[in-house]
Structure formats: structure tokens, C-alpha cells
Amino acid sequence: MDFFDDEQGTDDALLTNKNLIDTQEKLGTLLDLMPTGLIIHQLQGILYANQQALTLFEENAHDIVGKHILDFVAEPLREQSTEMFMSAFQQDKPVRFPEIRLQVPSGAKRILQVTAGRLPWEGTTVIQILFEDITELKWQAEELRKLTFNDPLTGAYNRRFFIQNAEIALHKSIREKTAFSLLTFDVDWFKKVNDTYGHLAGDEALKTITRVWNETTRHSDDENRRRDRQLARIGGEEFAAFFPGLSLTQARGIAERMRENLAETKIAYDNITFSISASFGVTTRLDGDKTIDDLIRRADRALYRAKENGRNRVESNKKSP
């Protein structure tokens, strides 16, 4: 039997194949120019990653193939991300992941917004995962939050934030008839510190107060960690903290530990070393209290009594004016 020799058909097939390869190469180049990271992923592992994804994950095109996206997700969101990853294979609508933090070889901290959706791919089910690097946006938002809520020198909360949150916590305590305590303290002879060592040394002392507070009030459970963060700088060298659910005795115990630790801490600045102490006033909610100012005034009177009785001590006050 004679076979029909279709040279033109062969040439057309070769041209079609060449055009297909050219198209794939052009598509790959186009995807590499995307500012968004893109990964094509099957259940078992990664099939393809564009250049932006390779940069984010600190990988090369060869080594990343076969790895799993979840290997790059830092705890504690890995379990939740696993659920979102699996759901992306099972539904037609795109799946928006929670913000994830990357776990990469250099240790760089990157936060990504992730969206995944199913994609037809040569007879197998795959998903395309898009990554938007929002690290800079999150950093800017955090800096703005700090400027709004935090004292820029010490890192403690500022007076406005403290009063707002203390009022909310106090009124909840009044409604639920639970304990609520508050303390204020300030540095003894702080003007002498500034006059003797200079204002920059005084600034270092104030920053040390926040560090010592965090070390003194460190707890293992989340609820107490939340309480720890309520330290605020409410004046030049005056600080305050409130404690929902804590009695006067418990709050006074925190004040005593803070007083002792602060007095034992050596502050080093510009080749000099010095120490500071502080006087504390502690009070607790009384039935007649209406606003946080009622407690602050009562704590301040106890603080002044600590000054009068020799400084570097804790006094408490349960009496109304």
C-alpha cells in the first residue's frame, strides 16, 4: 500500500508545535513580569512558580517544584491554612486565606494575602495560588497604630488610650460586679536623674521602666498577658496600669514585685551606670466609683503617701474622698 507523503502537513504540525512552545515561553515571561506571586499547585506539590513567587519564597524554579506550599507557612496558621488549601480543590469560587506569615530560609518576616482557585490543567485538578506581599502595608499600619495608641519614647500606651480602655473595663466590672484594681507610680527624684546624668539618660531610665514591667508581669496564660499590656505612661515620669478581675491584694503584689525589680536594675547609658526607684499607689473599685478618674485620684493619693513615707515603697488606698 502506498502512503501519502504529506510534507505540507508535517511542516504545519512542526510550525504549530513551535508556535505552542513560543506561546508557552511568552506566557512564562509574562507571568514572570507579574507583581503578584503565582503558584500552580496540585494536591501533592507545586508544579510551577513565577519569578515573584520564587523571590518571596527564596527558591529557584527547579527546587521549588514538588515542594508543598504549607511547608512555607509559619505557625500558628498552618492548620487553618491546610483547611483552606483543601477547600480550594473542592469548590468553584476562589478561597481567600487568612493572612499568612512566611517561613523562609533567611528568616525574613513576610506577610502575604493569599487567594486560591481551581484551574483546568492537562487532565489533573490543580489550583492557582496568588500571593500579594502586604508586609509593608502591615508595617505602616502598625506604625500608625503605635503613633495613635503608644508613647513614642517608652513603647507603653499613652494616656488617651489608657483612659479609654480603662473606662470600658471599669464599666464592665461595675455591671458584672467583679474586682477591678488600678495602680499608679512615678520615678523618685527623677529631676535629679536628669540634672545629674542628662535628659538622654533620663529617657533611657523611662524606657527601662517598660522593659522591667514586661519582665515582671510576664505570665504563661493569654488572659494575663492581655492584662500585662495595660501599662501606660500618663505623665512625664508617671505610669499607670489597671487589672480587671484582680483584687487589691493581687494588684499590690504586682506593684511590690515591680518596685523591687526596678530598684535592682542597673541602667547603663554613655559609660555611666545608675539606678532608679519608684513610689506606687494602689487602689481597687468601690461601690461608689463612676469613672476611672475616681480610681486614679485615689491611687494618686496613695502614691503621694508613699513619697511622704520615704519613697521606694507601695501604699494602697480603699477609702473614698
Please, which pLDDT band fits residue 101 given cuts at 50, 70 and 90? confident
- What CATH architecture is 150-317? 2-Layer Sandwich (3.30)
Q: What is the pLDDT of residues 50-81, one digit of tens each?
A: 999 999 999 998 899 999 988 888 887 888 88
Question: Spelled out in words, what is the top-level CATH class assigned to the domain 12-137?
Answer: alpha beta
Which residue is catalytic, options 142, 237, 256, 308? 237
Share of the chain above pLDDT 70, in %: 84
Q: What is the pTM of this model?
A: 0.60
What pLDDT does residue 16 have?
43
Least confident range from 166-170, 222-226, 227-231, 251-255: namely 222-226
Q: What is the chain's mean pLDDT, rounded? A: 85
Q: Specify whether the CB–CB gap between 213 and 243 falls below 8 A.
A: no
* Domain boundary assignment for the chain: 12-137, 150-317
**Does position 87 have pLDDT exceeding 50, yes or no?**
yes
Model confidence at 119: pLDDT above 70: yes
pLDDT digits over 275-306, tens only? 999 999 999 999 999 999 999 999 999 999 99
**pLDDT confidence of 136, banded at 50, 70, 90?**
confident
Per-residue pLDDT averaged across 78-95, rounded?
88
Active site residue 136: no
Mean pLDDT, residues 226-238: 78
Per-residue pLDDT reduced to its tens digit, 182-192: 999 999 999 99
Residue 113 scores a pLDDT above 50: yes
